[in-house]
Every structure is written in C-alpha cells, then in structure tokens.
Structure 1
Amino acid sequence: MMGWWETFFPTPTCCLCGSPYRAPGWAPIWKRICSPCIERLFPIRGEVCPRCGRPQSIRGHCSDCQRMVQTFLEANRSSLSYRSYTRESIHLFKFRGKVSLATPFAEMMTLTLVQAKWHIDRITYVPLHATRLTERGFNQAELLARLVARRLRIPLVHCLERRVVTPFQSHQGRRARQQTLIDAFVLKSGLERDVADKCWLLVDDVYTTGATLQECASLLKKAGATKVYSLTLAR
C-alpha cells in the first residue's frame, strides 16, 4: 500500500525510458530525463562549426561550410547529435505521437539558444504541408518553436507556408533535396512588413543538409529580415 507521501509526491520517472529516479519536483523538465538517457542522446558539447553547428574537434568552419557558395543563415545550433537513440526518441515524438516529449526537447533547445547569445526579435518554424499536417495531427517544429518562444518571451509568428508535398528529406541526397525544395515554401501574404528589419529564428526538429532551413531563410531575407538564425533539436 502506498504511503500518503507517495500519493502526493510520486517518484519521478524518466520521460523517455520510464525508469524511476531521484530528482526534485521543481527541477526543470529536461532534468527529469534520467542521466543514462541524457548521455545516450549525445548532447552536443564542445567545439562546433560556427556556421552550421556541426560538432568537431577543431575550430573554424567545417568542410561543407567552406564549400558553401551562398547562405541565407547566419548560423545554426543544435542540441543533440542525431545518433541511434536520439533518432528513436525523435521518431517516437514525431511519428508515434508522443507529444509529451516536446517539453523536455524544447527545454534543451532553449538552453542551446541561450548559450548561443543571439539577439532574436521573432521566432518562426518550418511549416508542414496541409496534407502532412492532417496525417500527423501536429507540426513538431511548431510545437518546439511555441515552447521555446513562450520560455524566452519572444513573439512566435506563423509566417511561412508549405505549398508542395515534398518527399521525406532523410530519403534523399543533398542535390535531390535542394531540387525538391525549390518553390516549396512561400511567405504568407501581407507579412512582408512584419518580417523586415528584424532578426529571426527558424526552428525545426532535425538539421540534415540544411537545405530546408536555407530555403525558408531565403524567403525571410528577401522580405527584408536583417538576420536569420536556425535552431534544431538534433543534427
């Protein structure tokens, strides 16, 4: 039989594996992921490429960014390395509807953003096409962006629309991704003046080649955004 203290103060359980562990009830929600799971998620620490946020052992731009001819993003930062356990956890959130993971994931991203020390005026996110939104029931990028914006008290603006159903980016190479994303997004009508002269943050769940974020950033820059940064959960 449970004691009264267990009724009112149940033992916290890990948001990912469900294992009970000791943590104060007032701890930030991301700290309610147990230590073994945090390590299995491979948080990005140490040196990263200043442009794309890729973890690396040396300073300076990574080889991909050195070859990049044009970029609309000032920089990207990601919280986790997209390895097996991280991939499984994101799939659990994204494709199997475990939206409760949005809160700890967004807390991790908020910490990453604070550490980046960027000045951000507005936050937006990579949109889903209406067909995909109906199938999934939610946009994972929007959920994460909404929680980050609320945590930092920065206005969230739905200013981009996806007008083409593109193949899943993880199934394509870099060049194919760039081709399928041409004209896939559009800035919502009448928002040009709201975009201009502001520093924007684009939020998505995963950074792969950066093609999706570059395409969205190009629309914001063409509308007069002074700078566009991006923040993703993993890369």
Structure 2
Amino acid sequence: IYIEMNANLTSFNLSSITKSRTFIMKLSLFGNALTTFAYSGIGGFPKLTMLNLGKNRLDRIPDHAFQHPKLKTLVLSDNPIRAVGAYAFSALPELEMLHLTGTRITRLGNYALTLGSRVHELKVLLSGGNLASLSPLAFSDTRAQILCLGQNNLTEFPRDVFFPILERLERRRQATGEVSSLRVSGNPFSCTGCSFRWLVGLKNQLLSRQLLFGFVCADGTTLARLSYAKIGC
C-alpha cells in the first residue's frame, strides 16, 4: 500500500487499513506531513516486510518504538528527527536495512541504535545529518555488515565509542569472510589530541582489513598519514 506525497496528511490511522492487514507486505507513507505515527501498531500486520516513513515531519522516535518479527526494511530518512529513544529498533530480528539519513539528530544516547537483528547483511545508514557525538552504548550489541556515519558533524573519534564497533565488525569479517565496514567520510575530524592516539596505533590493521572507510581529517590528512606527531600526542 502506497499513500504518498500528500502535504495535508499530518496523521495516519493504521485502523483504516485493518481489513487488509493480513496480507500487506509493504506500507509506504513517504512524503506526507506526518508528525506522529503509531509505531507499535505495525505488529498487527503479520506479513509486513517494508515500512517507509521517509520525508515526513517526525521529530522523535520513542523508546521501544518498533516491534515486528518480519520487518526487513525501515525507512525514516529526511525527517526532522532530533532524538531516538533507547531500544527503538531492538525488537526487529529480521531487519536488513535501516535508513536514518538526513535527520537532525545531534547525539545518539544509550542503546538508541541497539539492533536485535542477526541478519548477516544488516546495513545501517545514518549519513547526511547533524550527528556530532555518540554514547559509548549507542550501538551496544549491534552487529551490522555496513554502518555508515558519513557526512555528519563528528570531530572526535573516541576509543570507547568506536573500538567496540570496529571489534564487532572484525569478528563478523572473520566469521563470514565478507568485508564489514564503518564508513565515516565527510566528517570534520579534528585529528588533534591524545583521544586519537589509539587510532594511530591501529590504523594499519584497520586499513588492511578494510574495516574503516573514508576517515579523513578536516585538513585533508588521510588515515594512512595520521601520526603521533600530527595529533600532537
């Protein structure tokens, strides 16, 4: 079911499509003006595999928002989302693709992106936004193949946030033999101070295993050329 591109549609009642609920596999409400959505209601659509809420006016995703045993693709891109609650996406065991690009999120708090999916091809796209910081627990227990944080406002690369993510990507690479990567191109990394010291020590491993893509300092210095002298530590 596609109900799209209606600037006057500010809310949508899932009960309006209840008669079709047992066979709806795709629901797109893209390009409307939704300010709220009954997230928990999707559980009443047993065959739903794709939900597109992109380009609406949603500003917050609440705690434990989405729960569905079959959902594979979830699109929330291009919404003015400023906050994502804890475990918002943790009860989606079959999730393959999460689109959260082009939002206004500046910080991801504890367990905001804890994903319960164990699908090998899981891709999480958080690029093209205002993201400037992450809690060390933001991605707790998330096992993605691709995690894209490109084109945001990240200036730091703290070990307590990013080392666990890279470690899980490496374990996944070893288990599957496939490239698993954290993609961070287009962020203005400062590359100054001792918080980058761990990255200098690990850079050759990260590059050779293709775990970290697109890391470039704000002044253009690439990861390969990052040094203790460069960071001043």
What TM-score do you get using the length of structure 1 for normalisation? Answer: 0.29
| Larger relative contact order (Cα-Cα within 8 Å, sequence gap ≥ 6) | 1
What TM-score do you get using the length of structure 2 for normalisation? Answer: 0.30
Q: Which has the higher helix share?
A: 1
